Amino acid sequence: MATPLGVFGTGNPHKVAELIDLFAPAGVTWKLLTDFPDAIEVDETGTTFAENARIKASTYATRLRHWVLAEDAGLAVDALGGEPGVYSARFAGEPRDDGRNIQKLLELLKDVPPEKRSARFVCHMVLADPQGQVQAEAEGCCHGRITFAPRGNQGFGYDPVFEILEYHRTLAELGLAVKGCLSHRARAARLILPEIVRLVDSGLWTP
């Protein structure tokens, strides 16, 4: 029997590295968007992580005629009313730059005391079949707070300023192994993985 094929609907190499590890037990051979020369960039027009993830999964799936796992993720800071939210990657404008995003965030929070710097990372994952129909979705959150300065160099995005309170370390200080257990992406993956396994085992996921 042919091995089921799927596509990770992201062009972000950091996310791809995480997803490959998280979904290794799925029994699926995963391809990347870079494997498809005609893959288009999807306009993320949704106002929530869930809407954007559904848009990406369905659009890529119908375009590529494959099962696609897509996600939308970002940072929600309570003192900023949930911002930057779906605009996390381009918080400081285009071109997207992690350093400028962090700089803007810290500037906005410069007068906010530690006890009011609570934040959460959110990841919404969606699996769509080759016809673009959503077959499974899940959302994971990771709670913490924003530090006053970046710490650590393992990670990407806002990891250097996102502190996990129980560890007194930022995600960039804790490293990829710990992040693979605690992150919003890891939590969402653990929730959606059983649905993927069910689809594969039932024979509904055809190559």
Catalytic residue chosen out of the listed positions 72, 98, 129, 159:
72
Distances in Å between the alpha carbon of 37 and those of 33, 34, 41, 43?
8, 7, 11, 18
Residues contacting 144, CB < 8 A, separation 6+:
118, 119, 120, 121, 162, 163, 164, 165, 171
User: Is-contact 120 141, C-beta < 8 A?
Assistant: yes
111 is catalytic: no
User: Distance (Å, rounded) from C-alpha 47 to C-alpha 83?
Assistant: 12
> What amino acid positions are annotated as catalytic residues?
72
